[in-house]
Every structure is written in structure tokens, then in C-alpha cells.
């Protein structure tokens, strides 16, 4: 499959990668948000059966590596489409964490791994950027190909206060430009999971009935 280039991915140069790393730490609200996401991710890993081999994609600047490394015998692969993100991750990670992680550059549309290479694909903060259904299916199909057992994916879903507020805000916009973030209807995205060959094992909401963020744990159907 040829590698696809999404419009938003072009912004991830070295300057933006450094800014991305800092943004989860620079205010109290960001630190609390990061704490909550880490807690949800930990629950998802437990629901997935504490997989022995995990692919973190896109890994960004390694925000979840310390969490993934808590399981001492876990093999951690980490990939990102941006070489700048990987470079920053290698610079900022403590050596004890970095030595546990094998990094490589890769698009989610064309993962540079063989079939059934890892037990679990861990995907945070990507699918809410993917506005076209065919692109989401292409990514989910790649996850199905490389994962032996399960996948965790985060995205924005409807059915909460923040999604309703965002919909009203979007309706008031008079100048439509390219949108690189999208709120998905739960029934639609859950059907897309099924179309890609996954069954939903469970999900975790960032803040139920209020926030848009949801983390799904998907089990591969053979």
C-alpha cells in the first residue's frame, strides 16, 4: 500500500515536536489531563491482558513509554510518521525508559512490520484527526494486519456536553476551511471497527457525559 500523506502531518517539524512535548506539562490543567489519560491507558492495557509486545503508533515524543515500560518483560516498539517527533523522544526520555523502546519511522497507513508482529497496537490521539471514513478503515486494517490480539484507539465521540458544544460552534462558522479534527458518531465508528474485523472489548471515557475523548479496546476477530 502506498504511504498516504495527510494535511495535518506536514506541521510536525522539530519546532512543533518540541512544542508538542512541552504542552502536556506546561499548565496544571494539562498535567491533570495527562494524568487522566495515563490512568485510562493503564486500564486499557489491563483489559487487553497486559500484552507482552506493544506497538505505540503514533508515539509522538514518547508520552506513554514510561507507562508501557512498567511491565518489565514487555517488548515496546514505537513508531511515528514524523522523524522530528522521534528525535525529540530520544532526547527527552530517561535512559532507563529509552533502552526499553525500539523506535522507527512509519506511517499508520503502511506500518513497516510483518503480519501478526505484535500482541497489541496502542494508538493514542490519531483517529480524531482522520476525517475520511476510507482513511480510518485503511488505518484500522493495518492495525488488524500487524496485531495478533488487540488494539487500543482513542478518538472523539458524540453523546456528551463537549461534542454538542463543538457541533454548535461548527454550525456558526461562516468560512469553512480544512478540518483536521472530527467528532464521530459512536454508532458509525463502532460499525467501522466491526468492518475492519474487530470486536469491542470495552471502552473508557475521559469524563463521562462531559468530554469527547474515549479510548476503545478492540479484540481481533479471526
pLDDT, mean of residues 4-29: 66
Q: Which residue from 128, 127, 125 is spatially nearest to 64, judged by alpha carbons?
A: 125
- Cβ contact 87:117 at 8 Å: no
129: DSSP letter = G
pLDDT digits (tens, 9 = 90+) for 131-184: 999 999 999 999 999 999 999 999 999 999 999 998 887 777 655 555 678 999
In a domain, 3, yes or no: no
**Which of the two residues, 5 and 54, has the higher pLDDT score?**
54
- What pLDDT, on a 0 to 100 scale, did the predictor assign at position 1? 41
Which CATH number is 25's domain given? 3.40.50.150
Q: Rounded distance, CA 148 to CA 191, Å?
A: 21
- Cβ contact 113:83 at 8 Å: no
In a domain, 148, yes or no: yes
Report the chain's mean pLDDT, rounded to a whole number. Answer: 90
- Cβ contact 218:190 at 8 Å: no
Percent of the chain with pLDDT over 70: 86
In a domain, 146, yes or no: yes
- What pLDDT, on a 0 to 100 scale, did the predictor assign at position 9? 52
In a domain, 71, yes or no: yes
Total domains in the fold of the chain: 1
- What pLDDT, on a 0 to 100 scale, did the predictor assign at position 23? 73
- What pLDDT, on a 0 to 100 scale, did the predictor assign at position 2? 41
**Which of the two residues, 212 and 29, has the higher pLDDT score?**
212
pLDDT digits (tens, 9 = 90+) for 2-13: 445 555 455 556
pLDDT, mean of residues 203-207: 97
pLDDT, mean of residues 75-87: 95
Backbone φ and ψ for 52, nearest 5 degrees, come out as -80, -25
- What pLDDT, on a 0 to 100 scale, did the predictor assign at position 5? 55
DSSP class per residue in 62-104? TTTHHHHTTSTT-EEEEEES-HHHHHHHHHHS-HHHHTTEEEE
Q: How many CA atoms lie within 13 A of 147 on its CB side?
A: 31
pLDDT, mean of residues 69-97: 95
Residue 13 belongs to domain spanning: 9-220
- Cβ contact 202:217 at 8 Å: yes
In a domain, 104, yes or no: yes
Q: Which residue from 71, 70, 63, 12 is spatially nearest to 34, judged by alpha carbons?
A: 63
In a domain, 4, yes or no: no
In a domain, 1, yes or no: no
**Which of the two residues, 172 and 85, has the higher pLDDT score?**
85
**ω into residue 58 within 30 of 0, thus cis?**
yes
- What pLDDT, on a 0 to 100 scale, did the predictor assign at position 29? 87
In a domain, 198, yes or no: yes
Percent of the chain with pLDDT over 90: 78
- What pLDDT, on a 0 to 100 scale, did the predictor assign at position 7? 52
Query: What is the pTM for the complete model shown?
Result: 0.88
- What pLDDT, on a 0 to 100 scale, did the predictor assign at position 195? 97
C-alpha cell at 95: 535512559
Amino acid at each position: 500500500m502506498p504511504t498516504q500523506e495527510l494535511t495535518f502531518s506536514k506541521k510536525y517539524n522539530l519546532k512543533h515536536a518540541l512544542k508538542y512535548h512541552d504542552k502536556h506539562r506546561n499548565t496544571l490543567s494539562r498535567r491533570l489531563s495527562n494524568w487522566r489519560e495515563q490512568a485510562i491507558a493503564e486500564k486499557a492495557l489491563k483489559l487487553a491482558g497486559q500484552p507482552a509486545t506493544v506497538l505505540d503508533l503514533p508515539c509522538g515524543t514518547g508520552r506513554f513509554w514510561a507507562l508501557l515500560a512498567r511491565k518489565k518483560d514487555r517488548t515496546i516498539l514505537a513508531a511515528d510518521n514524523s522523524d522530528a517527533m522521534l528525535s525529540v523522544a530520544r532526547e527527552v526520555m530517561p535512559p532507563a525508559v529509552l533502552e526499553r523502546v525500539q523506535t522507527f519511522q512509519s506511517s499508520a497507513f503502511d506500518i513497516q512490520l510483518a503480519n501478526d508482529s505484535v500482541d497489541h497496537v496502542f494508538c493514542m490521539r490519531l483517529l480524531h484527526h482522520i476525517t475520511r471514513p476510507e482513511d480510518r478503515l485503511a488505518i484500522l486494517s493495518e492495525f488488524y494486519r500487524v496485531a495478533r490480539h488487540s488494539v487500543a484507539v482513542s478518538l472523539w465521540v458524540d453523546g456528551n456536553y463537549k461534542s454538542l458544544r463543538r457541533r454548535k460552534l461548527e454550525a456558526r462558522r461562516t468560512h469553512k476551511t480544512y478540518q483536521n479534527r472530527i467528532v464521530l458518531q459512536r454508532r458509525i465508528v463502532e460499525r467501522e471497527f466491526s468492518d475492519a474485523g474487530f470486536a469491542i472489548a470495552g471502552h473508557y471515557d475521559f469524563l463521562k457525559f462531559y468530554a469527547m475523548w474515549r479510548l476503545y479496546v478492540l479484540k481481533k476477530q479471526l
